Amino acid sequence: MKVVIVGGVAGGATAAARIRRLDEGAEILVFERSGYVSYANCGLPYYIGGVITDPRELTLQTPESFFDRFRIRVRVRHEVTAIHPEKKTVSVTNLETGEKFEESYDKLLLAPGARPTKPRLSGMDSGRIFTLRTVEDTLRIRKFVEEHRPRSAVLAGGGFIGLEMAENLREQGVEVTIVQRADQVLPPLDYDMAAQLHALLRRHGVKLKLGSAVAGFESREEQVATLLEGEEPLTSDMVLLAIGVSPDTGLARAAGLELGQKGAIRVNDRMETSVPDIYAVGDAVEVEHFVTHDRAVVALAGPANRQGRIAADNICGGHSRYTGAQGSSVIKLFELTAASTGINEKMAKAAGLDYDKVVLSPEHHASYYPGSETMTMKVLWEKDTLRLLGAQIVGRGGVDKRIDVLAAAIRAGMRATELAELDLAYAPPYSSAKDPVNMAGFMIDNITSGTVKQFHWHDLETLPRDGSVNLVDTRTAGEYRRGHAQGFVNLPVDELRERMGELDKSKPTYVMCQTGLRSYVACRVLSQEGFDCWNFSGGYRFYRMVEGERLACASSYPCGMERT
């Protein structure tokens, strides 16, 4: 059996190695148009920023190491220009010599990846405008930074690459402005969870132009001007386009393969395309989303690796199935970590799901052990079935651990209330006896059982301030003096039983505290005394982060973000 693989990196290289492990007699040939067959593209921003100092560390495999270990022939700087399914051949061009030839195959695997999205805008030919996708891109940017020592940069796009580049350029003293068409960075998060990242970026000197659209570019002597729709242009020493990626499927389209959304290659759960003996994996394919069961394009390294393994199994006569992607991701941004899995509120609404959510602010390990830090967690579930839909976490420590637990729970089909039953490892330096994931489960159980009712930050402005409802802040008097939501009166939880007579039992009662715990305790007390009580989800801490960002308020900390 002869297998030709178009593209290396995650999906193609993984498939090649797996095929060899399954079939020692297979002839395996990999064509890669770049100069590198397998590299850590998620690490590219960190080489530009100097965190990774040796470019060789980015290269996971070389053509020589691939051959020595697996007897796989790799041809870098070779571009496949056409597929001929009727002849089972591909046309190839050697980019070094210009030689053109055809190569036959028994099985063909496409792993072309995705290209950085390049809008058709004026001035794109400037040598100061970059994209970041390959090692060559990285070396080009690193060389520019070393030779020109840019003092300013505009990053068009606030996704993973844009944020990682913002951090790495700021660490080198470059003034950075992020231009983002949406009103938030990092689309996998909801706006309220991204608010903490906005404050973080501003605190580190990154300027944000949210809700702004790039209209074009102009070269101006040793700088480039980024033109904005309806706004003054931004002048900088360099520009990085990080507005997303598009599936690189020109070959597939020309060969008549069926395509799906965004022009991605449509595959089944065996990673087979619509044409016999042609498989596809990675950023170029459309797969099923594990949570919504809709078709989706998920451009992440983890899914690409798993798809490569599954395609290899089936090429070798196996029966492996890809059960869908849920988009689990994590990013380090300065001192914070942001992570998500499954779907967010925007996606749940788009899918027409009837969902609910909890927001909590637990410590990442036992609060009495030194170094404890507060994280912000948001968990979504389907109301009728209690099916877990997604989770988002932002914090300093322990974020990756909790998002992985939640990702596994979603994959296992656990009900949201079952999070309370997970038997998770505990020691004071690592967690609490009630792990944050358990706490989310306790809260969901309280809500679904009717033990507590909740309201959210976006409900606050609709609450009447005419005295027709009780608005209660159960924090200490000192906390209350340092800031509180409009209309809420201070009634510390420890004084509640003695001062309950100050509240009108006939009125709905809305209760808030710093994180949601003391207000929950207060609601239990009030509910048992006949009050119609509602607990504020996420607490005043969360409210200040979201409202502070939304209103761009002035305070000691950027956008109203409180020290935790």
User: CB neighbours of 341 closer than 8 A, spacing ≥ 6?
Assistant: 326, 327, 328, 329, 390, 391, 403, 406, 407, 410
Host H or E run for residue 46 = helix 44-48
Given 42, 316, 553, 559, the catalytic residue? 42
Task: Give the integer Cα–Cα distance in Å for 59 and 61.
Answer: 6
Amino acid identity, residue 20? R
* Closest residue by Cα to residue 175 from 202, 206, 197: 206
DSSP letters spanning 415-449: BGGGGGG------TTT--SS-HHHHHHHHHHHHHT
**42 catalytic per annotation:** yes
Strands ordered across the beta sheet of 336-342: 329-333, 336-342, 388-395, 376-382, 355-360
Contact (CB, 8 A) for 490 and 514: no
Type of residue at 419: L
Which residues does 258 contact at the CB level (< 8 Å), separation at least 6?
A: 265, 266, 273, 274
| In contact, 158 and 216? CB cutoff 8 Å | no
d(CA 202, CA 180): 14
Longest pairwise C-alpha distance within the chain: 89
Positive or negative, the CA dihedral 501, 505, 507, 513 is positive
Q: Which two tokens stand for residue 214?
A: 């790039």
Beta bridge partners of 224: 219, 236
Which helix H or strand E contains 275, and what residues bound it? none
* Residue written as token pair 């005419």: 466
Active site residues: 42
